[in-house]
Structure 1
Amino acid sequence: MLSTILYLLWALITVRADQKLQPDEVNTVTPPEETFPWSQPRLPTSIKPEHYFLSVHPDVGSDSFTGQVRILITVVNDTSFIILNSKDLVIQEATLLGLSVPSLIYQEARPVQSQMLHRANVAQEKLVKQPMALRVLESEATEQLALLMDTPLVAGHKYQLSLSYSGKFSDSNSGIYKASYRTPADAAPRTIVATHFEPSAARKAFPCFDEPSMKAVFSLVVVRRSEHISLSNMPKLHTEAIEDGLEQDYYQTSVRMSSYLVAFVICDYAVNSAETKRGVKVSVFAANHLINQTHYALQSAVEIMDIYEQLFQIAYPLPKLDLVAVPDVEAVGTESWGLVTFREASLLYQEQRESRRSRLRVSLLTAHELAHQWFGNLVTMHCWRDVWLKEGFASYLEHIAVRHLKPDWCVVS
């Protein structure tokens, strides 16, 4: 009964991934090249993203990263420009490729020999024409790119938008950032790379339609050095060695989700794993000398997942869930789907040395971020002005979960 009431209320004030966007209220006309053609902070809805093929190479030894993204888009209304989000990125190239028919169905990306990504299955239909170079304008005030073309895009048709770009690691824990830690046996600091895209920082990692309602599926490739591992939202498909001691990890295509939920981590961590009753693999990653402090968080996460699945009567839709302890971060926790990052002190717990209050802290925070795997990730607010909805639900549900987890603690909502 509780789950039914919660989801009925949530459905009244949110949108699901498959909800159709409304047409723009403004006419899309070909603008002069020197004028940015869009004046609103929200993106137009003339373009709908369907599938991102993203390859990113964060250079751990420097302060920069490079990337390529191909976005399969559907044109909702005729338009002569594409508006999407970008912040602090340098666009090297932008092209557009038309597809032969609007009914083309794409399948999961497969590994290719080049560092870039995608091979779509076009058994009956084929890509046509040559890629069209796009003129690029940028609005720093609205964190948007305008991609201009000479030939208008036709409603109902599909296109492939390709962009090559570079950027700098974030100075804050927003976008792609670096963190460091030391081990007792090694005086030199070790560096990891992590992401935090909420509320609107995916645009600092790759050009995208960075609004919660513009959901799509994502196929990710992460390039890293061979001594590291990478993690992302979905399980890894396979690894391919490339030049200069680098390897690239190919990940399964994600469920349909908002851009702010995309996540990856590059690290040299150890792992502690278990399974839920339904067989979902739950793993906690931490520095090797801290891995013995992850047992309580792992046990709590597994039990909380079982509690939520029983409470909501909706199965967690991903095959795995990773929790990662990140040093020196501002946010105590993030909710990225399938890959949740935590401040080290918010996830680790030392048996026999810390109090029940410390266990309560770990339990509540874990329950909060896992509640978002349903409230926020599966069902999402339409835009960022309604972020209080998902946070309010998660704050309420964390206490319900911990009451089930530890009834003798007498936790109240």
Structure 2
Amino acid sequence: MWCWLPPQLGVMAHVYDTYDQTYKVLLRESLVRGREYTLNIKFLGTLNDLLQGFYRSSYVDHVTGELRWLASTQFSPTDARRAFPCFDEPEFKASFEMSVGRREQMVAISNMPVRYSEPVADMPGWMLDHFHPTLPMSSYLVALVVSDLEGLRVDSNGRLIFKVWSRKQAIGQTQYAGVIGKSPSPVGEVVTDS
């Protein structure tokens, strides 16, 4: 891992503490409360098979018998740090603005709708989806799936979009999930004031 802070702050040392899974930066001067600082960190997260953090999973296409792969997240309780640098404790809240690369035939799903998509430069067949920012929330609530799943749009109250996602062969079995899933929407609107 590598980090950069403005030179005037005088980074004396930086180290990753494996015991408490934190990255510590020792500065020559104290930070000033209320002032905004930028910390740039190069970070490499690994897509794992542990069903924690950002992981890969699979299912069998019952028509072709082919094994189909997908990537998904399970960040609760403190596994968001496996995917990106963050204050990975429930009491800390932030707004998350995701950009996700995917193959053209795949779909990326996250907490918020896609704002826009664009081809990835010098990578034919790849797209980059840019999502709307989330409301402030804990990092363990960030969700992401990259897959070839199919979405069934369920009519809501005209303001909210509700979709149920499944394997293409099972999309016909998702109507009931759509019926019960959309019913709490008015309560959620009041709580989020949207």
- Picking from 162, 165, 187, the partner of 1:282 is 162
Answering whether residue 102 of structure 2 is matched by residue 224 of structure 1, we say yes
- Check the 8 A contact 1:94/1:133 in 2, yes or no: no
Answering whether residue 150 of structure 2 is matched by residue 270 of structure 1, we say yes
Residues 278 and 254 of structure 1, relative CA distance in 2, 3 Å threshold: same
- Check the 8 A contact 1:95/1:134 in 2, yes or no: no
Answering whether residue 14 of structure 2 is matched by residue 94 of structure 1, we say no
Answering whether residue 15 of structure 2 is matched by residue 137 of structure 1, we say yes
Residues 151 and 235 of structure 1, relative CA distance in 2, 3 Å threshold: same
SS at match of 1:184: coil
Q: CA deviation at 1:170?
A: 2.9
| TM-score normalised per structure 1 | 0.44
Residues 139 and 269 of structure 1, relative CA distance in 2, 3 Å threshold: same
Q: CA deviation at 1:315?
A: 4.4
Answering whether residue 129 of structure 2 is matched by residue 249 of structure 1, we say yes
- Picking from 162, 166, 187, the partner of 2:65 is 187
Percent of aligned pairs with the same amino acid: 29
Answering whether residue 52 of structure 2 is matched by residue 174 of structure 1, we say yes
SS at match of 1:277: coil
Q: How does 1:312-327 map to 2 (within 5 A)?
A: 314-316=190-192
Q: Please name the residue that 1:113 is paired with.
A: none
Residues 218 and 286 of structure 1, relative CA distance in 2, 3 Å threshold: same
Counterpart Cα distance in 2 of 1:134 and 1:164: 18
- Check the 8 A contact 2:11/2:28 in 1, yes or no: no
Q: CA deviation at 1:181?
A: 1.0
Gap regions ≥5 residues in structure 2: none
Residues 132 and 252 of structure 1, relative CA distance in 2, 3 Å threshold: farther
Higher helix proportion: 1
SS at match of 1:291: helix
Counterpart Cα distance in 2 of 1:298 and 1:158: 43
Choose 1 or 2 for highest CA Rg: 1
- Check the 8 A contact 2:10/2:28 in 1, yes or no: no
Residues 249 and 130 of structure 1, relative CA distance in 2, 3 Å threshold: farther
Counterpart Cα distance in 2 of 1:267 and 1:234: 16
Spell out, residue by residue over 1:193-223, the C-alpha distance to the aligned partner (whole angstroms, 9 max, x if none).
0001111111111111111111111111111
RMSD of aligned alpha carbons: 2.2
Answering whether residue 180 of structure 2 is matched by residue 300 of structure 1, we say yes
Counterpart Cα distance in 1 of 2:127 and 2:29: 39
Counterpart Cα distance in 1 of 2:159 and 2:68: 34
Q: Please name the residue that 1:152 is paired with.
A: 30
Answering whether residue 43 of structure 2 is matched by residue 165 of structure 1, we say yes
Q: CA deviation at 1:132?
A: 7.2
Counterpart Cα distance in 1 of 2:13 and 2:102: 32
